[in-house]
Structure 1
Amino acid sequence: MDFLNIPLFDDDFYKMIFRFIINMVFLIYIIRYLYYETSKRKDYLFTYFMISIIVFFLCFTLKKYELDIGMALGLFAIFGIIRYRTDPIAIKEMTYLFVVIGVSVINSLANKKMSYAEIIGANLIVATSLTIIERVMFLRHELTKEIIYEKIENIKPDRNNELMSDLELRTGLKINKIKVGKVDFLKDVALITIYYYNEK
């Protein structure tokens, strides 16, 4: 039964829903319980979930068509040029973005040559690898914060101890490393990035 030469229903609907459930189970674990627990950044949760959902349905829809290698490479080139021009994305956030896109592509483009056991196994390997890296290998998560600093005389290399003591006193944080960025001698301010561990 069809309408305007388009079927109203076919068996691929059940495949799509089942694979989407598998996809969401692993994405919720990766995004909510791995990424968010270490970064505490809510602004990327919406982005990761929506990009992964759109990529899943986009790839599942395109799988119904005959794609040549050029079309497939072009599809991934679109993802490769995604940039957020308002705020630069940190390396870790970009890595998680690549992970959620990759997981969604695996779950949506798998065909009859790939069993459900292989699909779930691939997802488990990705999730387990992230868990080991986040929770076991790197127990302490290093955070960064940018500060506009006005005591410009303290940015000299020989006054590094005074700079660190002043910043620790003002921020109340135990600072591991300090990186001096842009310096404005007209306004007597400098942009400083501090690195500290998320003890909590």
Structure 2
Amino acid sequence: MEWALDFIELTKIFGVKLVDAEDFLELVLRFSFNMIITVWIVRYIYYPITKRKEYLFTYMLFSVIVFFLCQLLSNVKLGLGFALGMFAIFGIIRYRTDPIPIREMTYLFVVIGISAINGLANKKVTYMELVFTNIIIASITYGLEKVWFTKHESRQTVILEKIELIKPENQQKLIEDLRERTGLNIHRTEIGRIDFLRDTARVRVFYYADEGTESSIQEEREQRTED
């Protein structure tokens, strides 16, 4: 059995080793650890609050791609410039695609950052330092979402027929009217597009919701249309 393993390790194809057992094992361990941290943040911190499966899919694939890209290119002398370039490239997505909410964009950078750290860490970084860094990032994320900011602000866009309520002096009347009609404990509003021909206005209402009651995908699409 040992001679077979030695044969495989010594086998080369076009001057490249078929397998390096030590490097391959390190790759598997790093990837497994990266996925554990990513799943913890995305599935057990982010998803229970927002219930947005489309971002769950995006974050997981981003994590896999960024990790392997960084890990397989780590032998090339790219260093910090490469890591910062990764952030710049993926940051462009914010401006070249449909607008992404601030919270979702933050989680995207967290996922990219963790995957880049785990993929680019070299021999000078001990495993204890790597584990500590990942746990600190995940713990702070958990603390912000679950402990410190227990109230999660949700929003919806409604069509208002009583256009006279959009005047600044009628702000409180507007909130009271919307509370009565929607049943939501609205605490602030933003006036969007106003249609004087139809005497209607788009009003974005903000309220504190329990976990899992974030705005639906359809509401988000309406907000994008408004913007």
TM-score (norm 2): 0.80
For each residue in 1:88-133, what CA deviation from the matched residue of structure 2 results, as whole angstroms up to 9, or x when unmatched?
Answer: 1111111111101000011111111111111110001001111111
2:88 matches 1:77 = yes
Does the alignment pair 1:161 with 2:172? Answer: yes
Q: Secondary structure at the match of 1:83?
A: helix
- Which of 5, 23, 32 is equivalent to 1:12? 23
Alignment correspondent of 2:57:
46
Given candidates 104, 108, 112, the residue that maps to 2:119 is 108
Corresponding residue SS for 1:173: coil
1:21 aligns with 2:35: no
Q: What residue in structure 2 maps to residue 55 of structure 1? A: 66
In structure 1, distance between residues paired with 2:198 and 2:170: 20
CA distance in 2, matches of 1:86, 1:150: 32
Compute the displacement of 1:86 (Å): 4.8
Q: Say whether residues 1:189 and 2:191 are aligned partners.
A: no
Q: TM-score, normalised by structure 1?
A: 0.90
Residues 41-65 of structure 1: per-residue CA shift (max 9 Å, x gap): 2221111111111111111111122
Q: What secondary structure, in the 3-state scheme, does the structure 1 residue paired with 2:157 have? A: strand
User: What stretches of structure 2 of length at least 5 have no aligned partner?
Assistant: 1-10, 212-227
Kindly indicate whether the alpha-carbon contact (under 8 Å) linking 2:87 and 2:112 is maintained by their aligned counterparts in 1: no
Of the two, which has the highest radius of gyration? 2
Q: Which runs of 5+ in 1 are unaligned?
A: none
Moved more, 51-60 or 138-147: 138-147
1:99 matched to 2:110? The reply is yes
Q: Name which of structure 1's ranges 99-108 and 135-144 shifts more when overlaid on structure 2.
A: 135-144
Which of residues 35, 42, 54 is equivalent to 2:46?
A: 35
In the alignment, the residues of structure 2 paired with residue 110 and residue 176 of structure 1 have an alpha-carbon distance, to the nearest angstrom, of 46
Is 2:136 the counterpart of 1:129? no
Tell me: CA distance 1:69–1:102, structure 2 relative to 1, closer, same or farther (3 Å): closer
CA distance in 2, matches of 1:143, 1:120: 34
Q: Using the alignment, how far apart are the partners of 1:72 and 1:161 within structure 2?
A: 49
| Dislocated runs of 4+, deviation >3 Å | 68-76
Contact 2:38–2:111 (CA under 8 A) maintained in structure 1: yes
Task: Among all aligned residue pairs of Structure 1 and Structure 2, give the percentage whose two residues are the same amino acid.
Answer: 50
Specify the SS of the correspondent of 1:37.
helix
Q: Does 1:150 align with 2:138?
A: no
Q: Could you say which structure has the higher helix fraction? A: 2
Please point out which of 173, 179, 182 is paired with 2:184.
173
- Report the AA paired with residue 90 of structure 2: F
C-alpha distance in 2 between matches for 1:84 and 1:135: 30
- Corresponding letter in the other structure for 1:137: W
